Chain A
Amino acid sequence: MPVPPNTPGPQSQQSPIVSEFASDPDMAELVALFVQEMPARLASLKASWQSQELSEVQRLAHQIKGASGGYGFSQVGSAAAALEKSLIALSEGSSRSSTDELRSKFDELISLCQRVRT
């Protein structure tokens, strides 16, 4: 699914992302919980980003990566994994991740996260 990389805004509300397990009755409650807790996750993610605490951003991305797949949001998980990878490369001093690249991966994750729905 094509996602505008740098523009998390009103458009991001457009196409909701629904869990791959939406029809699994065992999972309904958990998916709802995950979606319900998403705004809080997003808030901490943004706050850490704004205060340049990249290690905290990395930790949160790692958490989202681990959790999203399990709740049936693999797209979100992949975006979180990509961001985590770039941050690891950055902290290891690899020149491969530019600030722009990082920025676009962060924005993509935010955008996807904002679209999760039950």
Chain B
Amino acid sequence: MPDHESKPQVLLVDDSVDVHRLVKVRLKAEPVEIISAMNGNDGLEMARAVNPSLILLDLDMPGVDGFEVLRKLRADNATAPIPVIVVSGLDSCADKVTAFELGAADYITKPLEFAELRARMRSALRTQRLLALLAERAEVDGLTGLGNRQQFNRRWEQEFASFARYGNPLTLAILDVDHFKKVNDTFGHPAGDEVLQGFARIIQTCIRNTDIACRFGGEEVAVIMPHTTPNDAFIVAERIRNSLQSNVWPRHPEHFVTVSIGLAGASGLIEGLTKERWLEAADQALYTAKRTGRNRVILGSLQPGAAPATTASPANVTPPAARAG
């Protein structure tokens, strides 16, 4: 039995009390939770507040009518993806065409045939699930299961916006496997793929589930760490570096793999900082880590005019795989 919370929410927007009563009774066996709005404005507000899986929308309402609600739902990025089934007593062809043109997923006329409504609702929810899955897959890296570049771009923009607005701590890490080409050249591409997958797995076990790890392409991974100060991120980065260097690889147990990590983070607002500049600072720190011997974590600086990459990791322990260092 799925719990109450996991049921998809269906928002019914209709000015008729009768319709609300009937829908609640007729859909009570469906695995959905019905929430009610009695007019267009309340409907829009609730759609934004609860982000329902589906909206059943009456067209003919006093004040803000269904067409207007549809228009406003589509104009708002947060509500635009929610599928809408228009439920209407207006059954003219022109109204149907207008509703579909405004982005309705489906149209059903009153008086309601509830068997039909249930069938159309299930179909809309099914499509919605597939679309959500597709959107999710489109942002996942096939090899490692981490996010891809696209996910990074979207999330980095979000997290930077949150930082710029609230000044919460935020740190960005860029990780690059040392001498990865050598693994590929020596042990073959399947071995290289396994290293990338193992690397991704280690990252996932070391970060928090609110952190976002995305493969940048090649052997480079970026980790966005919201609400994390540079110092806390440094500890996480060290943990990743340590886990990786001590990992034994089934295909080449004699050959260890290490990683260089560049960090750039802030504990609070920094005037004039851009998300591009931030990414650059993390990249610079990574470059410094590479240049100064690899297998280390370098914390870059975000202060304007400051020399990049100042703090070196305490990675003076020679890793088991000296030749990979």
Task: Say whether A associates with B.
Answer: yes
Can you list, as one digit per residue, whether each of A61-73 has a CB less than 8 Å from chain B (1) or not (0)? 0110111111100
Can you list, as one digit per residue, whether each of A23-64 has a CB less than 8 Å from chain B (1) or not (0)? 000110010011000000000000000000000000000110
- What are the residues of chain B within 8 A of A12 when measuring CB–CB? none
Q: Given the complex of chains A and B, what is the CA–CA distance between A65 and B28 in angstroms?
A: 23
Contacts A62-B60, A63-B16, A63-B18; A69 near B25 (Cβ below 8 A): no
Nearest first, the 9 A-B pairs at minimum CB distance are: A69-B111, A67-B18, A70-B22, A66-B110, A66-B89, A77-B111, A26-B25, A30-B21, A66-B16
- What are the residues of chain B within 8 A of A66 when measuring CB–CB? 16, 18-19, 89, 110-111
Interface residue count on the A side (C-beta < 8 Å): 16
Residue of A nearest to B112 (CB): A70
Q: Given the complex of chains A and B, what is the CA–CA distance between A74 and B26 in angstroms?
A: 17
- What are the residues of chain B within 8 A of A26 when measuring CB–CB? 25-26, 28
* B18–A70 CB distance below 8 A: yes
Contact of B16 among A30, A67, A77 (CB under 8 A): A67
Interface residue count on the B side (C-beta < 8 Å): 14
Enumerate chain A interface residues (CB-CB to B < 8 A).
26-27, 30, 33-34, 62-63, 65-71, 74, 77
Residue of A nearest to B18 (CB): A67
- What are the residues of chain A within 8 A of B21 when measuring CB–CB? 30, 33
A34 CB to closest chain B CB, in angstroms? 7
- What are the residues of chain B within 8 A of A77 when measuring CB–CB? 111
Residue of B nearest to A24 (CB): B25
Q: Given the complex of chains A and B, what is the CA–CA distance between A46 and B140 in angstroms?
A: 63
Contacts A63-B16, A63-B18; A70 near B111 (Cβ below 8 A): yes
Report 16 cross-chain contacts, Cβ distance below 8 Å, ordered by A residue. A30-B22, A34-B18, A62-B60, A65-B111, A66-B18, A66-B89, A66-B110, A66-B111, A67-B18, A67-B19, A69-B110, A69-B112, A70-B18, A70-B19, A70-B114, A71-B18
- What are the residues of chain B within 8 A of A63 when measuring CB–CB? 16, 18
Can you list, as one digit per residue, whether each of B9-31 has a CB less than 8 Å from chain A (1) or not (0)? 00000001011011001101000
Residue of B nearest to A78 (CB): B111
- What are the residues of chain B within 8 A of A68 when measuring CB–CB? 111
Can you list, as one digit per residue, whether each of B100-118 has a CB less than 8 Å from chain A (1) or not (0)? 0000000000111010000
Within 8 A of A (CB), among B97-141: 110-112, 114
- What are the residues of chain B within 8 A of A67 when measuring CB–CB? 16, 18-19, 22
Specify which of B18, B25, B26 lies most central, judged by the most chain A CB atoms within 10 Å of its CB.
B18
* A65–B110 CB distance below 8 A: yes
Q: Given the complex of chains A and B, what is the CA–CA distance between A86 and B195 in angstroms?
A: 75
B60 CB to closest chain A CB, in angstroms? 7
* B89–A65 CB distance below 8 A: yes
B83 CB to closest chain A CB, in angstroms? 22
Residue of B nearest to A65 (CB): B89
A101 CB to closest chain B CB, in angstroms? 21
Residue of A nearest to B17 (CB): A67
Contacts A26-B25, A30-B25, A66-B89; A74 near B111 (Cβ below 8 A): yes
A56 CB to closest chain B CB, in angstroms? 12
Residue of A nearest to B22 (CB): A70
Q: Given the complex of chains A and B, what is the CA–CA distance between A82 and B1 in angstroms?
A: 46
Q: Given the complex of chains A and B, what is the CA–CA distance between A71 and B26 in angstroms?
A: 11
Q: Given the complex of chains A and B, what is the CA–CA distance between A27 and B23 in angstroms?
A: 11
- What are the residues of chain A within 8 A of B112 when measuring CB–CB? 69-70
Within 8 A of A (CB), among B20-68: 21-22, 25-26, 28, 60
Q: Given the complex of chains A and B, what is the CA–CA distance between A50 and B22 in angstroms?
A: 31
Residue of A nearest to B19 (CB): A66
Q: Given the complex of chains A and B, what is the CA–CA distance between A71 and B21 in angstroms?
A: 10
